[in-house]
Amino acid sequence: MTLHLYDTETRALREFTPLVPGHASVYLCGATVQGEPHIGHVRSGVAFDVLRRWLLAHEVDVAFVRNVTDIDDKILNKARDAGRPWWEWAATFERSFAWAYDQLGVLPPSVEPRATGHITQMVELIDRLIESGHAYASAGDVYFDVMSFPSYGALSGHKLDDVHQGESAAEGKRDPRDFTLWKAAKPGEPSWPTPWGRGRPGWHLECSAMAETYLGPDFDIHCGGLDLVFPHHENERAQSQAAGDGFSRYWLHNGWVTMGGEKMSKSLGNVLSVPNVLQHVRPQELRYYLGGAHYRSMLEYSDNALQTAAVTYRGIEGFVKRTVERAGEVPLGTWTDGFAAALDDDLGVPKALAELHATVRAGNSALEGGELESAVEHAGQVRAMLSILGVDPLDPHWASGSGDTDALEGALGVLVDAELQRRAQAKVDKDWPAADAIRDRLAKAGIDVTDTPNGPEWSVGATRSNDEAGQ
């Protein structure tokens, strides 16, 4: 494997060389558990799960840390407005995010630390920053001195004159560009004792402390959404390096899911929750949709695009399952060279999918021609590629909890088989117009029929217009 990744800090593709040969250390900024996860939230989980699977497939051991921010202004405000304890609010939506990740087949992290479980490490980090002259205490708050760190802005490209932290004004700040490490306690809010008084951590401090705790002062990759580059990741980098850590060697950022060109967010009111979307498509179909675009690109959501992706996936799935029905089994094979080249080039999933679809077409042709051995080989390659993308239809994960789906597929099978029997009888009667009409009607409904030496086989494919269906 010669993997190249686009590093946000250097703004260039760089060959990935881990600090420790055969071992990769990865930190992904996880959820701030303030509400129900929407599909924009889980895109990073899907995108960097592909990275992890690709490394694991090359026998690289991966330490994968994904944190939970369970103390935050938004969590406290929403819990207060709802009349619920902040900890119960956070725990409720932490479970919601865990459920969403699991539904989409995202591998569980090596560890999933909570911010509130690492207050001691945060206090120790602040101590180091104060002692080295990079932070200062003021009336119970503690701030990072941005001007004390010469390379501030290198990750995001922000110039110091343009820095706005997005924090409320505070009298104790020496410079408005400084950011908060520790917040003095307020009445009714949770707090912890420190040398500077009771309080709670600032958001940026949390990830630096947790990354160092589990991955050490130097680690390989830091991942997250593009919206985190500034100020969150810029501030993480500054405080960690100012404290003497090398911190992350590669910075990877995924693009947003957008609607109408705007980032999907709760504040815009254009949220599509994962549970709601999964009422319309299966989890593996949603994952195929979210993971199909290049991870750094913006993904403009539309119902049509989601349904098109779902239908495309069903076609791929149908080929694999038809091959299993004919051959009895399809062992997991090896991905194609073209697929590997695409993923090695900054996880180029769109090019990898083009290779996948070409393999499916070749496999379908082999099935139609009665070349079962060739079809099995192609299906094994397809399974290998799909497993890296996390959507291998024969993976046991997708078989669990699929009772409703299986029932629907069974009902559809009864109806389609009845139509095919009528078509077969029409052919026996040499009523060719009736036989063609049945096939066209199925095609219009998105059912692809393939005539093989062993009789007709069908799969769910893309729906077609009247012209495409020959009407």
Answer with the one of 238, 254, 270 that is the final residue of a domain. Answer: 254
The Cα–Cα gap between 335 and 387 comes to 10
Q: Tell me the per-residue pLDDT of 103-136, one tens digit each, with 9 for 90 and over.
A: 999 999 999 999 999 999 999 999 999 999 999 9
The Cα–Cα gap between 218 and 120 comes to 20
How large is the average pLDDT for residues 444-462?
A: 71
With respect to residue 312, please indicate whether it lies within any of the assigned structural domains: no
Strand-pairing partners, residue 452, are 455
For residue 101, count CB atoms less than 10 angstroms from its CB and return exposed for 0-12, middle for 13-18, buried for 19 or more. buried
The answer to whether 256 and 225 have CB atoms below 8 angstroms apart is yes
pLDDT band at 470 (very low <50, low <70, confident <90, very high): very low
The Cα–Cα gap between 367 and 361 comes to 10
List the structure tokens of 27. Answer: 């930190």
Range of the domain at 224: 4-254
For residue 159, count CB atoms less than 10 angstroms from its CB and return exposed for 0-12, middle for 13-18, buried for 19 or more. exposed
The H-assigned helical ranges of 62-202 are: 73-82, 86-103, 119-131
List the structure tokens of 354. Answer: 């083009």
The one-character DSSP state at 141 is: E
pLDDT of 409 strictly over 60:
no
With respect to residue 429, please indicate whether it lies within any of the assigned structural domains: yes
Q: Residue 133 CB: number of other CB atoms within 10 A?
A: 10
The Cα–Cα gap between 339 and 351 comes to 7
- The angle that helices 119-131 and 234-242 make with each other, rounded to 10 degrees, is 60
With respect to residue 310, please indicate whether it lies within any of the assigned structural domains: no
My answer on whether omega of the bond before 231 falls inside 30° of 0, hence cis, is yes
The answer to whether 173 and 163 have CB atoms below 8 angstroms apart is no
The Cα–Cα gap between 383 and 397 comes to 14
Answer with the one of 207, 232, 254 that is the final residue of a domain. Answer: 254
Helix (H) or strand (E) holding 137: strand 135-138
With respect to residue 311, please indicate whether it lies within any of the assigned structural domains: no
Answer with the one of 207, 222, 254 that is the final residue of a domain. Answer: 254
The H-assigned helical ranges of 345-392 are: 349-368, 372-389
- The angle that helices 86-103 and 73-82 make with each other, rounded to 10 degrees, is 110
Lowest mean pLDDT among 60-69, 201-210, 216-225, 433-442: 433-442
Closest by alpha carbon to 449, among 461, 457, 441, 437? 457
pLDDT band at 270 (very low <50, low <70, confident <90, very high): low
With respect to residue 372, please indicate whether it lies within any of the assigned structural domains: no
pTM recorded for the entire structure: 0.85
Higher pLDDT pick, 438 / 63: 63
Closest by alpha carbon to 239, among 247, 250, 230? 247
Write the CATH number for 182: 3.40.50.620
3-state SS, residue 16: coil
With respect to residue 334, please indicate whether it lies within any of the assigned structural domains: no
Rounded percentage of the chain residues whose pLDDT exceeds 70:
92
pLDDT of 421 strictly over 80:
no
The residue with tokens 């609607």 is: 259
| CA angle, residues 34, 37, 41, in degrees to nearest 5 | 105
Q: How many residues does the chain have?
A: 471
Residue 453: the pLDDT is 62
Query: What's the total number of domains in the chain?
Result: 2
With respect to residue 136, please indicate whether it lies within any of the assigned structural domains: yes
Rounded percentage of the chain residues whose pLDDT exceeds 90:
79
For residue 83, count CB atoms less than 10 angstroms from its CB and return exposed for 0-12, middle for 13-18, buried for 19 or more. exposed
Residue 454: the pLDDT is 57
Q: Tell me the per-residue pLDDT of 308-352, one tens digit each, with 9 for 90 and over.
A: 999 999 999 999 999 999 999 999 999 999 999 999 999 999 999
